[in-house]
Homo-oligomer: A and B are copies of this chain.
Amino acid sequence: MKARVVVTLKSGVLDPQGKAIEGALKSLGVDGVASVRQGKVFDVELAGADASAAKAQLQAACEKLLANTVIENYQIDL
């Protein structure tokens, strides 16, 4: 079973990496970009076929390792 986990910064948390990308796009001539925020994506392959068990495992993975829940949100797509 395949799943995708997307980890993004919570709103209000500064994102200097996103700001740098924004500036770089402007200097490369890509106009019309108002703001950029960068996050992480994890494509996870799970052994079992049970969706609810998979979701619980992914939630544990996010809480323990993939996301820093103080400053980041995570979203699990099965």
Residues of A within 8 A of B (CB): 6, 8, 18, 21, 24-25, 28, 30-48, 53-54, 57, 60-61, 64-66
Contact = CB atoms under 8 A, between A and B. Distances in A.
B64 A47 contact: no
A22 to B, nearest CB: 9
Nearest to A75: B41
A28 B66 contact: no
Contact of A32 (B6, B25, B46, B65): B46
A21 B65 contact: yes
21 contacts: A8-B43, A21-B66, A25-B61, A25-B64, A25-B65, A28-B64, A28-B65, A31-B57, A32-B54, A33-B44, A33-B45, A33-B46, A36-B42, A36-B44, A36-B45, A37-B42, A37-B43, A38-B40, A38-B42, A39-B43, A41-B41
